[in-house]
Structure 1
Amino acid sequence: MDRGSERDEPPGRGAGDAAAGRVPLGVIVVDRDGLVSHWSSGARRLFGVQRDDAIGHPAADLLPVSGALADDLPDDALPDTYGLHQAHDGLGPDLEASLDGRTGYATAGRARLFPHADHGTRIDVLWWAYPLIGPGPSRLLVLAADATRLRDERGYDDETAERISPGFARHTELPASAELERRLPEILPNMGPGLSGRIVSQVLELGYPVLEFSQYDRVPVTPYWGVPRRPGRGPAEALVPQQRTAAVVPLGAEQDLEYAAVRERLEFLNEVSSGIGSSLDLGETIREVTSAAVPRFADFAGTHLRAAVLAGEGFPDGPPDTSTVMFRVSVEHNDEPGRWDDTVPVGEAVAFPEHTPFYKCMVTGEPVLIPRVTEELSHRISGEFEKRDLRPLITGRSLLIVPLKARNVVLGFMVLMRRPDRPAFDDMDRTTGAELAARAGLVLDNARMYTYQENVADTLQDSMLPQVNPRMAGCDVATRYLPGTRLGRIGGDWFDTIKLPGSRTALVVGDVMGHGLNSAAMMGQLRTAVQTMATMETPPAQLLRNLDDLARRLGENYLATCLYAVYDPIRGELHLANAGHIPPVLVRAEDGRSELLDLPTGAPIGVGGVPFESTVVRVSPGDRLVLCTDGLVEVRGSDIGEGLAALCESAAHPAASMDVACDTIIRALNTRGGRKDDVALLMARLNGIPDDHVAEWHLDADPREVARARRLVRDRLLEWGLPQTVETAQLLVSEVVTNAVQHAGGGRVGLRVVRTDALLFEVTDDEPGLPAMLASGPYDESGRGLRVVSRLAREWGASATGHRKTVWFEQTVSGR
């Protein structure tokens, strides 16, 4: 290489310029197959090749290291097919050293390159190449710097710039050799400590990289990866020999190099940020956060979270203390498998003692840095944990504990450790770890909030949907609810089954227009209103009119569709009324044929001013009624008629059970693309009640008819083979019939007994006033009848229709 005399001095500069060796470096590692295995951000900026386009590609296509890959490359210039035009190289001596009994050569050079992407821009590259001897796939370490930048930023003329060349020197020949040795790992790629240590030893043996300005001026290349400069801080001292002539580097290079470490760490943090938070699933996010630190930043990472965070509950209450339980939710390390499993198992709940660095981080919310865990500190920490010896795992390691915070609340913390053979954590690592934890805390809080909102949505939706009894009097019921894909899984679709007097059942399906909390709240109000009016035996058409009035009083935006049907299993009739809802499907048991019931459509609830009509449909035992919301049959871009046809076809499909029939419909219709709305599906098999399971009598309003009522009930229960129910039934019938006779006003009293899963007794009279349970004293002669009924009956109630009322009660059949 060209050598300048000792009098050579760059123009305009004098002694005392102390930042000569601080140059930005690209760091590249080549494996034994000649492929790039590491490509730093500096290499990306220098050569203009992204990391993904470099890793795994031949180094000969990307680097101007002529002669360094002698087994793979010719000694002459690189051909065009390598992706580079090389104009010049060959500056710098070759040095020879002995490593492990083998010979390795370190080479340096300078090359002027024209990347294909931009033939008008020349890159003047200084490079150093070190062969890597020993086990492992790494073969060559390459350091590269931009000589063009050295020239342009400091105003060198071409002659002066040509005197700058790459070379080597024994680090012991330079001042502060120990500092050089300590800093050398910082310019190497972050790989395992074993490989990193091996590379350091070989670089020190083969020669420290230097910039040569003359044969006397050799400036060590020492990029600074530490804390960025603060205001008022003077230029950092350079590790340069004290000679008569001070070598210099371009103007502004020291600032770039001063911040090179910060840029590298920011790139690491950006890579971590892009790799975590890919899912809002809390468990997956925890695993991403923990694994992001290993092995690039630490050799061990353990994440601990507060119980409220892990459960997806609300924000944790108050600051943590000694009673705060932390759960170890994830552990990552690159030690031998199983080494940490018994001592720090995942899933363990731990309350950290007060005199530990973990507790300090937890309560202060600040990082805790221990460069090396001494034996004394290791013994003290281990002593705070009963039946657990942490000393073999933490002694000699570098320890960094960083808090996981969101909105200034500590959610947990991460424990980070490095093995003894790896550089200890320093202040910059503390800053980097804190920033890593801050980003991780935000991601974890987002996942926690999402989990919490999902739990709230599920709880709200579940609380508003009924717990439907699958067996009603004379019919079996099955339901399905599918949340929509929008707005937190909360919607306004609902279904309901309501037990009515006379063994009847009300079947309801409704759909509030819109989505989200407002729709769910409106749905809850409407469902409650339907429940109330149904138990008052409001006829279907009148019920929808009342519901319409209520919706308009609640607000202008209260719009909903609703289908209300009352099934009478004794008469085999359906009474239906529709308020703008899609029609139901009736599947006939006789021939398996399905049909859409032709009902007066009506206007949606909340429109107002539109009459509602009811329709009576005769049904037979075994027929199935299918009611659903439009989310099942309506898909954007498709005609709703196609969905209704598919509903009829799938509803008619034979099924072994009601649940299987519902699943068949869901599979047939829900797989159609584009569904975003929620779905409510209700299916009822209308079994009916056989005539011989119903007994009905008319009684005169005469006290003597009470004895007759007891006798009629006894005879019928014995005929049905239910002798164990006779005594209680006679007592309850006697009390209810007595009340009816006393208040009937001379009219007739009706008595009906229906046998289903239970015994239903109904007593009807001409007095519309509903009975009330009265408080009675020890000497009162009346007022205890309904109290007896309430105590002995499974259920009881009363309803009024027109000028008549019905008091009913149910009695459990023994053995059922």
Structure 2
Amino acid sequence: MDRGSERDAAPGREADSGAAGRIPLAVVVVDRDGMVSHWSSGARRLFGASREDAVGHAAADLLPVSGALPEDLYGAPTPDTYAQYDGLGPDLEASLGGHTAYATAGRARLVPHGALAGDERLDVLWWAYPLVGPGPSRLLVLAADATRLREERGYDDETAERISPGFARHTELPASDELERRLPEILPNMGPGLSGRIVSQVLELGYPVLEFSQSDRVPVTPYWGVPRRPGRRRTEPVVPQRRRPVAAVIPEGAEQDLEYAAVRERLEFLNEVSSGIGTSLDLGETIREVTSAAVPRFADFAGTHLRAAVLAGEGFPDGPPDATTVMFRVWVEHNDEPGRWDDTVPVGEAFAFPEHTPFYTCMSTGEPVLVPRVTEELSERISGEFEKRDLRPLIGGRSLLIVPLKARNVVLGFMVLMRRPDRPAFDDMDRTTGAELAARAGLVLDNARMYTYQENVADTLQDSMLPQVTPRMAGCDIATRYLPGTRLGRIGGDWFDTIKLPGSRTALVVGDVMGHGLNSAAMMGQLRTAVQTMATMETPPAQLLRNLDDLARRLGDNYLATCLYAVYDPIRGELHLANAGHIPPVLVRAEDGSSELLELPTGAPIGVGGVPFEATRVEVAPGDRLVLCTDGLVEVRGCDIGEGLAALCESAAHPAASMDAACDTIIRALNTHGGRKDDVALLMARLNGIPDDHVAEWRLDPDPREVRRARRLVRDRLLRWGLPQAVETAELLVSEVVTNAVRHAGSEPVGLRVVRTDALLFEVTDDEPALPAMLGAGPGDETGRGLRVVSRLAREWGASATGHRKTVWFEQAVAVQVPYIR
């Protein structure tokens, strides 16, 4: 607030006194609804909003203290309102949000109320006090102009000063009675009761203070390595021209001691490097941070080389490197003219360093190598070790320091540092500093390497457990999407699957194991395998979930999962579904484009036990689409899952050019929340059906003479379908399977069905439940070769039993005839 404001000045002094130790403050009170209830004239001058524009409006839109305002009550501010850059004290997201009662302070850049685009932001210091007790008041906010404060202190640009707001706790505030008396004058409409309560809480939490720290930056290189003169006598302390607070006791005469300044600057440099590297676990970003940290303050050139195993995120390298170890030049940083190093030392190059070079010495011994000046002889020798590389113009006359990048006493790589001839050469102190820099960088790189390795392992494990879904099944088209979660490791228990069943049917499965990590992924693999096994045995959906529930309880008490299992029969145009605690699927009707959530008996999750599972049949038409997904797609923390399901229905009904495009539309519509951490599995099936004229069925008597009739029926049907090239093989295979059926069948008729899709499916059903076995027939045996012929000529074959009947089926590929011109 302005210094001339009498109403807003600090109590006990005249507002225009300008006495040291006092700064003008703006005062604001925020109520429990997040609205401004009191707004001082100083707040109007600082923030640019009048009392009429502020009182009754959301505090988050006017004040730079979002962290002190719980977002669940007040809402998040707009991105352009302010940008915090110097928050202090405890985490603001946790403080004052209704969880704790600590005062907080901070510093922010603020766009004044009514400012135009491009106007300069205000530099605001703020303090926030939580208000407890009766009444609507919840927060007291004090603010000051940091820009004006800095100008009044009169520091020039060469002086680095930090201004931080804080609190003087457990200290008596002078003139507290006067503050209690003056507060109603500063904030109109405030009674003495509220004023006294606010002042008492301010005294308890600490009155606002400012902390100043100032340092004169010393250039790194010119003052490093200056020895202390022998016999130097200590002088009397030098009184600085300006009073400045210090955070530690400084020895007498230290500020005039160049060696002390050099050591201090080295420590500050290493501290800055340590805080500037390792901000990300991404290996490439970490490499760039490590290399760039040395230029230009410590060196004019820095090049980082890493072993291939480290760069690939593989396991920890074995043993020390040797002449055969391949090193990758992963990043180069320099302050020479652009492009000077690009052709000679390109980034991404891989090679083994020759033995008679200082680079090999560093990586083989694991110790720094210092060359104060690269002589002409040495530059020629180094350049001669690299074919077709004239390094002499680049390294001649420069100071060279090579430091190893190590972790757990294993060399991961090394960093080449060089200074131009016009800078002081590296010395022993530089070698120590460079080694410390490399040691810290090596630990950061190893952390990034381990994270990359673990991420690769997780991805490999996840990919190995997810199926390779065939895009076309009998009578339906399939499209899938899988998005790993954003949690560390990204291993989850979500899965989907499509299983080919007898009778041209397809099983569609989606499931979600509760939890994350390797245990969840392992359980997912077990459950997926069990579902595949039971599905191929034609286990009905409800019974399959019951068996899966029993299996999960045998595996462990903590094994819980949800699962949705559906069987699509394209000939009957029917879905047979059962649900175990999973979110319902969406069915999009082709006739009118409408979408609906299928109402299924929910059931309990797999692993609960003692809950029955029910199955439901749903009739579908050709062209309908079935959408199954896990809850990670529709469930977002803080939002109702009903909203996500409604959005799923809406996006699933959106027309799309292809199945893949339809999946992408759903993902884009529902994957907009940045807070999604769970995995997402999405499976979409377009239920095309199989036309009636592509299916032929016959009933045969259990008589060996019916085998000839079966061959004739199949031949006539294939010729009618225009498939003469498939007749000969089909007749042979049908003859073998029907012969076995009529030989072992009882009194009931034998069923023969042929289905035409992208292949020919043949099914032979009889009333003998025992599954056939492939036998080994000798040269003199007259039987036992039928199934061997089927397995050799058919694309696929199998057998399944249901009740007291069994079905033997096989598929025959249909050769595509390509017309040609003679």
Q: How far did residue 675 of structure 1 move?
A: 2.5
Q: Distance in 2 between matches of 1:778 and 1:410?
A: 67
Q: How far did residue 190 of structure 1 move?
A: 4.5
2:706 — aligned with what?
Answer: 705
Q: One-letter code of the match for 1:728?
A: T
2:320 — aligned with what?
Answer: 319
1:645 partner SS:
helix
Give yes or no for the alignment of 1:599 onto 2:592. no
Q: Distance in 1 between matches of 2:153 and 2:472?
A: 80
Q: How far did residue 419 of structure 1 move?
A: 1.4
Q: One-letter code of the match for 2:219?
A: P
CA offset digits 1:758-792 (Å, max 9, x no partner): 11011111111111222233333222211111111
- Residues 672, 248 of structure 1: CA spacing in aligned structure 2 closer, same or farther, 3 A cutoff? closer
Alignment check: 8 A CA contact 1:544 1:605 kept: yes
- Residues 85, 592 of structure 1: CA spacing in aligned structure 2 closer, same or farther, 3 A cutoff? closer
2:332 — aligned with what?
Answer: 331
Q: Distance in 1 between matches of 2:386 and 2:149?
A: 65
Q: Distance in 2 between matches of 1:259 and 1:525?
A: 65
Q: How far did residue 85 of structure 1 move?
A: 7.8
Q: One-letter code of the match for 1:326?
A: M
Q: One-letter code of the match for 1:758?
A: A
2:413 partner SS:
strand
2:342 — aligned with what?
Answer: 341
- Residues 741, 337 of structure 1: CA spacing in aligned structure 2 closer, same or farther, 3 A cutoff? same
Q: Distance in 1 between matches of 2:402 and 2:252?
A: 34
1:377 partner SS:
helix
1:510 — aligned with what?
Answer: 511
Q: How far did residue 365 of structure 1 move?
A: 1.0
Q: Distance in 2 between matches of 1:468 and 1:759?
A: 21
Q: One-letter code of the match for 1:266?
A: L
2:368 — aligned with what?
Answer: 367
1:587 — aligned with what?
Answer: 588
Q: One-letter code of the match for 2:452?
A: T
Which of 226, 237, 258 aligns to 2:230? It is 237
Q: Distance in 2 between matches of 1:334 and 1:584?
A: 60
Q: One-letter code of the match for 2:348?
A: G
Alignment check: 8 A CA contact 2:234 2:253 kept: no
2:219 — aligned with what?
Answer: 189
Greater alpha carbon shift after TM alignment, 249-258 vs 335-344: 249-258
How many residues align structurally? 602
Q: One-letter code of the match for 2:488?
A: L
Q: Distance in 1 between matches of 2:808 and 2:253?
A: 96
Q: How does 1:719-798 map to 2 (within 5 A)?
A: 719-798=720-799
Q: One-letter code of the match for 1:676?
A: K
Q: One-letter code of the match for 2:302?
A: A
1:232 — aligned with what?
Answer: none
Q: Distance in 2 between matches of 1:254 and 1:442?
A: 37
2:435 partner SS:
helix
Q: How far did residue 301 of structure 1 move?
A: 0.9
Alignment check: 8 A CA contact 2:406 2:412 kept: yes
- Residues 289, 116 of structure 1: CA spacing in aligned structure 2 closer, same or farther, 3 A cutoff? closer
Q: How far did residue 690 of structure 1 move?
A: 0.5
2:296 — aligned with what?
Answer: 295
CA offset digits 1:123-151 (Å, max 9, x no partner): xxxxxxxxxxxxxxxxxxxxxxxxxxxxx
Alignment check: 8 A CA contact 1:487 1:516 kept: no
Q: One-letter code of the match for 1:426?
A: D
Q: Distance in 1 between matches of 2:598 and 2:298?
A: 68
Alignment check: 8 A CA contact 1:562 1:579 kept: yes
Structure 1 spans left out of the alignment, 5+ residues: 1-51, 54-78, 87-114, 119-186, 197-222, 228-234, 240-245
2:489 partner SS:
helix
1:27 — aligned with what?
Answer: none
2:266 — aligned with what?
Answer: 265
Alignment check: 8 A CA contact 1:84 1:116 kept: no
Q: Distance in 2 between matches of 1:116 and 1:775?
A: 88
Q: Distance in 1 between matches of 2:682 and 2:226?
A: 64
Alignment check: 8 A CA contact 1:650 1:664 kept: yes
Q: How does 1:576-725 map to 2 (within 5 A)?
A: 576-672=577-673, 674-725=675-726
- Residues 706, 686 of structure 1: CA spacing in aligned structure 2 closer, same or farther, 3 A cutoff? same
Q: One-letter code of the match for 2:534?
A: M
TM-score normalised by structure 1 residue count: 0.71
Q: One-letter code of the match for 2:467?
A: P
1:134 — aligned with what?
Answer: none
Q: One-letter code of the match for 2:305?
A: H
Q: How far did residue 389 of structure 1 move?
A: 2.3
2:252 — aligned with what?
Answer: 253
Q: How does 1:72-471 map to 2 (within 5 A)?
A: 83-84=152-153, 189-190=219-220, 225=225, 236-237=229-230, 248-250=235-237, 252-253=251-252, 257=257, 258-471=259-472
Q: One-letter code of the match for 1:253?
A: E
- Residues 337, 705 of structure 1: CA spacing in aligned structure 2 closer, same or farther, 3 A cutoff? same
Alignment check: 8 A CA contact 1:635 1:673 kept: no
2:85 — aligned with what?
Answer: none
Q: How far did residue 284 of structure 1 move?
A: 1.8
1:216 — aligned with what?
Answer: none
TM-score normalised by structure 2 residue count: 0.70
Q: Distance in 2 between matches of 1:389 and 1:537?
A: 72
Q: Distance in 2 between matches of 1:238 and 1:713?
A: 113
Alignment check: 8 A CA contact 2:218 2:261 kept: no
1:599 partner SS:
coil
Q: Distance in 2 between matches of 1:117 and 1:749?
A: 90
CA offset digits 1:665-684 (Å, max 9, x no partner): 22222214542221111111
Higher relative contact order (CA 8 A, sep 6+): 1
CA offset digits 1:556-607 (Å, max 9, x no partner): 0000111100000001111111111111111111122211111111111000
Q: Distance in 2 between matches of 1:548 and 1:390?
A: 69
Alignment check: 8 A CA contact 2:400 2:417 kept: yes
Q: How far did residue 652 of structure 1 move?
A: 1.6
Q: Distance in 1 between matches of 2:613 and 2:154?
A: 85
Q: Distance in 2 between matches of 1:593 and 1:497?
A: 25
Q: How far did residue 82 of structure 1 move?
A: 5.9
Q: Distance in 1 between matches of 2:151 and 2:644?
A: 60
Q: Distance in 2 between matches of 1:407 and 1:662?
A: 47
Q: How far did residue 437 of structure 1 move?
A: 0.9
Q: How far did residue 459 of structure 1 move?
A: 1.2
Q: One-letter code of the match for 1:333?
A: H
Alignment check: 8 A CA contact 1:224 1:259 kept: no
Q: One-letter code of the match for 2:723?
A: L
1:138 — aligned with what?
Answer: none
Structure 2 spans left out of the alignment, 5+ residues: 1-107, 110-147, 156-162, 167-216, 238-249, 818-822
Q: Distance in 1 between matches of 2:768 and 2:520?
A: 41
Q: One-letter code of the match for 2:474?
A: A
Q: Distance in 2 between matches of 1:317 and 1:442?
A: 17
Q: Distance in 2 between matches of 1:810 and 1:560?
A: 35
Q: How far did residue 697 of structure 1 move?
A: 0.9
Alignment check: 8 A CA contact 1:773 1:786 kept: yes
Q: Distance in 2 between matches of 1:278 and 1:744?
A: 73
Q: How does 1:489-500 map to 2 (within 5 A)?
A: 489-500=490-501
Q: One-letter code of the match for 1:741?
A: V
Q: Distance in 2 between matches of 1:390 and 1:725?
A: 71
Q: Distance in 2 between matches of 1:546 and 1:263?
A: 70
Q: How does 1:20-35 map to 2 (within 5 A)?
A: none
Q: One-letter code of the match for 2:780?
A: Y
Alignment check: 8 A CA contact 1:487 1:515 kept: no
Q: Distance in 2 between matches of 1:249 and 1:678?
A: 68
Alignment check: 8 A CA contact 1:226 1:428 kept: no
Q: One-letter code of the match for 1:189?
A: P
* Identical columns (%): 87
1:485 — aligned with what?
Answer: 486
Q: One-letter code of the match for 1:446?
A: N
Q: Distance in 1 between matches of 2:226 and 2:728?
A: 93
Alignment check: 8 A CA contact 2:220 2:266 kept: no
Larger radius of gyration: 1
